[in-house]
């Protein structure tokens, strides 16, 4: 009986090691890359009334939703346009403008509208 106990004590670690799961290897294939096509939204026009315009930004309320107020900075073409308009007196409160911008961005790509005569 003692021999069986000794034999069981010696075989128990071997049995535990045999029944233990083998370490899992990562199943990652790095041979090819996954290419994700990014959607670039098209620029949209916003028609609104000028609340405030200066050399750095323009604040406009949307004509479709007067409670929606948008602030845009200038880039490229709109910067040169706004510099020219500001030199002639600039946009006044209430002037109607159309602003081209990328959805989700606050940079005006193009600004169209006739500034009223400054007082």
**49 pLDDT more than 70:** yes
Output phi, psi for 83, to 5 deg. Answer: -60, -45
Mean pLDDT for the chain?
86
Determine, yes or no, domain membership for 3.
no
Determine, yes or no, domain membership for 106.
yes
pLDDT value at position 119?
63
Determine if the pTM surpasses 0.95: no
**3-class SS at 40?**
coil
In terms of phi and psi (left: phi > 0; alpha: psi -120 to 50; beta: otherwise), the region of 71 is beta
Domain total for the chain? 1
Which residues form the domain of 72?
44-112
Q: Pull the structure tokens for residue 19.
A: 């029944």
Which pLDDT tens digit goes with each residue over 60-109?
Answer: 999 999 899 999 999 888 899 899 999 998 999 999 999 999 999 999 99
Q: What is the CATH number of the domain that holds 95?
A: 2.40.50.320
pLDDT value at position 6?
72
């Amino acid at each position: 009986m003692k021999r069986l106990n000794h034999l069981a004590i010696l075989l128990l670690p071997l049995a535990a090691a045999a029944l233990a799961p083998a370490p899992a290897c990562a199943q990652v294939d790095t041979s090819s890359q996954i290419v994700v096509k990014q959607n670039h939204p098209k620029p949209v026009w916003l028609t609104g009334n000028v609340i405030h315009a200066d050399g750095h930004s323009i604040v406009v309320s949307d004509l479709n939703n007067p409670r929606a107020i948008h602030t845009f900075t200038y880039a490229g073409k709109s910067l040169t346009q706004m510099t020219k308009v500001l030199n002639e007196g600039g946009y006044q409160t209430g002037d109607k403008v159309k602003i081209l911008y990328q959805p989700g961005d606050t940079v005006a790509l193009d600004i169209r509208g006739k500034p009223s005569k400054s007082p």
